[in-house]
Amino acid sequence: MLRHFLLGKIHRATVTRASLDYVGSITLDPLLIEAAGFLENEKIDIYDVTNGSRLSTYVIPGIPGSGEVGINGAAAHLVDAGDLVILAAYGWMSEEEAQGRLPKVVFVDAQNRITSKESQERTPAVANAFA
């Protein structure tokens, strides 16, 4: 049996632009794409922390080092420039495959520059319990 697991995520990125006049997708700085383990044209989910919207789209690379998180097409009705978003990719794998695999979790600052990369996340209460 295959199950669905988190492969990678970018936590609380700031949307740099939202453009309705585009075919669709999300444009990301390739440095963010690589750090999260995303692939070009891969389906990802967008969770808008600012307004609660949730949607799926696909990744296209922007300019390296730009910090771009650009929302394109119809998604620009749901996500605005300046919103905080979580971007996540998932994949199907067996329990055996999942045992040795940890997701790539990328934390960024307000300019979408990478501040840290982790292989797991815990809520503060749980993290403190393990300290």
- DSSP class of residue 15 equals P
How far apart are alpha carbons 98 and 85 in whole angstroms? 26
Residue 23 has pLDDT above 90, yes or no: no
For 26-70, how does the pLDDT look when each residue is reduced to its tens digit (9 = 90+)?
A: 999 999 999 999 999 999 999 999 999 999 999 999 999 999 999
pTM beyond 0.75: the answer is yes
Domain locations in the chain as residue ranges: 2-130
Residues 92-113: what's their mean pLDDT? 95
Q: CATH assignment of 2-130, given 3.40.640.10, 3.40.50.10490, 2.40.50.1020, 2.40.40.20?
A: 2.40.40.20
How far apart are alpha carbons 36 and 48 in whole angstroms? 18
Residue 8 has pLDDT above 70, yes or no: yes
The active-site residue out of 25, 47, 53, 66 is: 25
Asked whether the beta carbons of 70 and 27 are under 8 A apart, the reply is yes
19 catalytic residue (yes or no): no
Cα separations in angstroms, 89 against 2, 7, 22, 122: 16, 6, 22, 18
The active-site residue out of 22, 47, 58, 90 is: 58
